[in-house]
Amino acid sequence: MDEMKKTEHDDQKLHIAMFPWLAFGHFLPFLHLSNHLSQLGHRISFISTPKNLRRLSEIISPDLSARIAMVPLPFPSVNGLPPDSAESTSELPSHLVPFLKRAYDKLQFPLTEFLQNSDVKWLINDFAPHWLPPIATRLGINSVFFSIYSATTLAFGGSPEDLLRHCEKQVEDLTEVPQWMPPQSKVAFRRYEVMSIHDQMDPDFSDFFRLAKVIQGCRFVATRSCSELETDSLSLLQKLYQKPVIPVGLMPSEVENSNGDQSWDSLRQWLDGNTQNSVLYIALGTEVTLSQDQMNELASGIEKSGLPFIWVVKTRDHPIITGFEDRVSGRGLIWTNWAPQKQILAHPSVGGF
């Protein structure tokens, strides 16, 4: 992000605001980028809603928490969301995500007030706030679109003009390789993937519209990628967007010392009792909710593998097929609490994910 270093004085530090979409798959990359920028001496304001910031504060290190100011914006009420005020995609079934996007759009008013009364010079935002670039411009703030997705994924969508045309297209069109991609490319969505994406779109402002407006209004694009992996896609993306596209790297997080964490102590003892590279770790993340059929098929595959395993099951998942736990007793763990994933994957007995 060299452009962010071009200040009147070489030693001038910036106040940078971060505004991610309301999903933990987005919060964490934004936090990793915040950490990197704070280590360069910049002041960081990480903006989201109260419940999300409380959850993030529980999982980030005290050192990082001390360097980043958490800025809570009141979560707006929206007809269609449950009364318990779910504030992230991890708390909602996919068909309610459009209502979460409407709530997110209502954050423009308290966010504008915060920006007006701050000395923020740069604003790094996600794909969703289509309304934000004009506000930033009016306030004299430079906006940056930070994509958590790969350059190839962004390139599939095409230019902002192509993205706006997607709003008029049929679902099936996204299952074909677009004409601007390289001839040898096979990148395209499967139909079930497109249907899942479509279910989570706000009918008033589609994700294509949101992304197009954010790209058109930003100073430059930063993507979680690197030139060693995506040289051609990064080059194509700059041609499509007609503005700088900067790979910020994959930003892997370090494995932290979890001594004293009872969850990890229990898991580590179990892992220590298995041979090297023998354990299969199954965790589908906070965003995925399996149907009953999918849960049954996954359980059947795990059972037939004969491998020792740790399976992280969320409380909102459908129940596991009857008798499964008895049949795999002694060689597997079904884990329903928060799982320290980095520590699990770093353990020598884990051989598959």
Dump the DSSP string for 71-133: EE-PPPP-TTS-TT---SGGGS-GGGHHHHHHHHHHTHHHHHHHHHTS---EEEE-SS-TTHH
β-partners of residue 18 are 46, 124
Predicted local distance difference test score (pLDDT) of residue 173: 84
Residue type, 94: S
Q: Are 70 and 56 in contact (CB under 8 A)?
A: yes
Q: Are 229 and 253 in contact (CB under 8 A)?
A: no
Q: Which one-letter DSSP state was computed for residue 285?
A: -
Q: Are 15 and 43 in contact (CB under 8 A)?
A: yes
Picking from 279, 265, 277, the residue whose alpha carbon sits closest to that of residue 332 is: 279
Q: Are 44 and 37 in contact (CB under 8 A)?
A: yes
Q: Which residues are designated catalytic?
A: 26, 126
Q: Are 212 and 163 in contact (CB under 8 A)?
A: yes
In degrees, rounded to 5, the angle at the alpha carbon of residue 283 between the alpha carbons of residues 281 and 284 is: 145
Q: Are 201 and 145 in contact (CB under 8 A)?
A: no
Q: What is the pTM of this model?
A: 0.85
Please give the Cα distance from 170 to 194 (Å, whole number): 10
Predicted local distance difference test score (pLDDT) of residue 2: 55
Please give the Cα distance from 110 to 97 (Å, whole number): 21
Picking from 238, 236, 146, the residue whose alpha carbon sits closest to that of residue 185 is: 236
3-state secondary structure of 47: strand
Predicted local distance difference test score (pLDDT) of residue 197: 84
Predicted local distance difference test score (pLDDT) of residue 254: 66
- What's the gap between Cα 255 and its chain centre? 19
Please give the Cα distance from 173 to 169 (Å, whole number): 7
The tens place of each residue's pLDDT in the chain, 353 residues long, gives 555 555 444 457 999 999 999 999 999 999 999 999 999 999 999 999 999 999 898 877 787 788 899 999 999 999 999 877 789 998 888 889 999 999 999 999 999 999 999 999 999 999 999 999 999 999 999 999 999 999 999 999 999 999 999 877 777 788 999 999 999 999 999 988 888 888 899 999 999 999 999 999 999 999 999 999 999 999 999 999 999 999 999 987 666 655 556 678 889 999 999 999 999 999 988 777 788 898 999 999 999 999 999 999 876 667 788 899 999 998 999 998 878 888 999 999 999 99
The tokens describing 300, both together, are 């059947």
Query: Which residue is listed with tokens 């504060």?
Result: 57
Predicted local distance difference test score (pLDDT) of residue 227: 95
β-partners of residue 144 are 124, 220
Longest distance between any two alpha carbons in the chain, whole Å? 68
Predicted local distance difference test score (pLDDT) of residue 261: 63
Predicted local distance difference test score (pLDDT) of residue 339: 85
Predicted local distance difference test score (pLDDT) of residue 225: 96
Picking from 132, 127, 84, 86, the residue whose alpha carbon sits closest to that of residue 106 is: 132
Q: How many CA atoms lie within 13 A of 310 on its CB side?
A: 30
